[in-house]
Structure 1
Amino acid sequence: MPSGFLDSDTSDSQNTPPSLVLSEEELKLITFFRGFPDSAKKEALIEFESKFNKFNELFKELLASRS
């Protein structure tokens, strides 16, 4: 399989494509993440989730202010 492809188990969801093409940056993130100890992985996931939630909230506020 070419670099940048991840196999997904289609039994989990009928809406999931059979494979996903990742960008070079996404591949780097995965490579670095896999090198972390488990405790650092948990911290990184918490940080990413926090940033994700903050950006979503910011976008909601921006959209609401334009209405």
Structure 2
Amino acid sequence: MSLKSTHFHSGLTTHLIRRGSLTMSYPRDPNPTKETFGVGARWDVPAEKVHEVWVGNEGCEYVIGE
């Protein structure tokens, strides 16, 4: 994995992986875990929830809606 980014968004975001993979974690959760998403995966991140994202070695193309 490469290209780690820790951030948050002001509103709810919806993500859909189109190509490659992405790994995500919520570092402020009591027991943070990492989850990897591949092509076709869809998930929501609540507003203002701090999350870390790593792009897979093959890169990642995804659509994000806010």
TM-score (norm 2): 0.29
Structure number with the bigger relative contact order (C-alpha 8 A, sep ≥ 6) is 2
Normalized per residue, the structure richer in strand is: 2
Normalized per residue, the structure richer in helix is: 1
Bigger radius of gyration, 1 or 2? Answer: 1
